[in-house]
Structure 1
Amino acid sequence: MMHAKRFLMIGVLLAMFSVIFGAFGAHLLKNTLSAARFETFSTAVDYQFWQALGLMVVGITGFKLNSKSWRLAGYSLLAGTLIFSGSLYLLIATDTGWLGSITPIGGILMIIGWALFAWSLRTLRIEQ
């Protein structure tokens, strides 16, 4: 149950920060970044938000499910989000292009997280 609550809370916080970052980008960065860099920033915000929602779903299911694959799914989604969006935020902030080569690692971790979550759902029993 501890992991479920943790994933739910982290998902909520990631969602909150994606709204903050999105507003910051729309109001302060849109006119200062190139179109390509602003698109990169928007991609980071979008992925962060969707993965935050996913992490909340993982957290909610954790009140009924607590398998190793479920926990690994949550941590993979979290790590993937931090690496994917984080590397893009750092790329924008530092204008360091090589950070873009780290981004796919985050994407792979997110894919692994979703696959593990799907695998863990096979044992979920929903009462009617």
Structure 2
Amino acid sequence: MFKNIIITCFLGLLAIILGAFGAHALKETLSSEQLLSFETAVRYQMYHVIVLLFVNTYQGFSENQKNLISYLFFLGILFFSGSIYAIQLSTISANTIWFVTPVGGLFFIVGWFSMIMIFVKKLRNQ
């Protein structure tokens, strides 16, 4: 359990650092469209960090359920936000890794769907 929380806290810290970096250091470097894309990556990362804190402290989830949702969201952050960071902060062309961002989005979708299914099952078992 603590492994997931430690990774989550690290990802939250990273979102704050990258958000500040984007707001201050990248204003002069990136176009407004690129900066907006970078901010989207930071925002999605932070949204999922907040959800991960809930998931990993919620007593109603089993350890397996916490791990499943956590890994799906960790992969979502890595692929979705990570690919956007890579495109905006390096010389990697979006044309080269265009498919990675939607894969990350798919991990987010599956993570949310998994939570829905867990809660639906709990509702049926009441």
Q: What TM-score does the superposition give when structure 2 sets the normalisation length?
A: 0.85
Are residues 27 and 113 of structure 1, via their aligned partners in 2, closer, same or farther at CA, if it must alter by over 3 Å? same
Stretch of structure 1 that moved more, 27-36 or 96-105: 96-105
Instruction: Give the CA deviation at 1:102.
Output: 1.3
Are residues 123 and 5 of structure 1, via their aligned partners in 2, closer, same or farther at CA, if it must alter by over 3 Å? farther
- Residue 13 of structure 1 aligns with which residue? 10
- Residue 37 of structure 2 aligns with which residue? 40
Whole-angstrom CA distance in 1 between matches of 2:64 and 2:119: 12
Q: What is the root-mean-square deviation in Å for CA atoms of aligned residues? A: 2.0
Identity of aligned residues (%): 31
Instruction: Give the CA deviation at 1:7.
Output: 2.0
Contact 2:4 2:67 in 1 (8 A): no
Equivalent position amino acid for 2:35 in 1: F
Superposed, which structure 2 residues align to 1:73-84 within 5 Å?
Answer: 73-84=69-80
Are residues 117 and 67 of structure 1, via their aligned partners in 2, closer, same or farther at CA, if it must alter by over 3 Å? farther
Between the two structures, name the one with larger relative contact order (CA 8 Å, sep ≥ 6).
Answer: 1
Whole-angstrom CA distance in 1 between matches of 2:27 and 2:70: 32
Corresponding residue SS for 1:30: coil
Structure 1 residue runs of 4 or more that deviate by more than 3 Å after TM superposition: 67-70, 121-125
Are residues 29 and 53 of structure 1, via their aligned partners in 2, closer, same or farther at CA, if it must alter by over 3 Å? same
Instruction: Give the CA deviation at 1:74.
Output: 1.5
Q: What TM-score does the superposition give when structure 1 sets the normalisation length?
A: 0.83
Question: Over residues 16-49 of structure 1, what are the superposed CA-to-partner deviations in whole Å (9 max), with x where a residue is unaligned?
Answer: 1101001011110012101111111101110111
Whole-angstrom CA distance in 2 between matches of 1:59 and 1:124: 17
Are residues 67 and 12 of structure 1, via their aligned partners in 2, closer, same or farther at CA, if it must alter by over 3 Å? closer
State whether structure 2 residue 86 is matched by structure 1 residue 90: yes
Whole-angstrom CA distance in 2 between matches of 1:100 and 1:55: 26
Whole-angstrom CA distance in 1 between matches of 2:74 and 2:83: 14
Contact 1:80 1:110 in 2 (8 A): yes
Q: How many residue pairs get matched?
A: 121
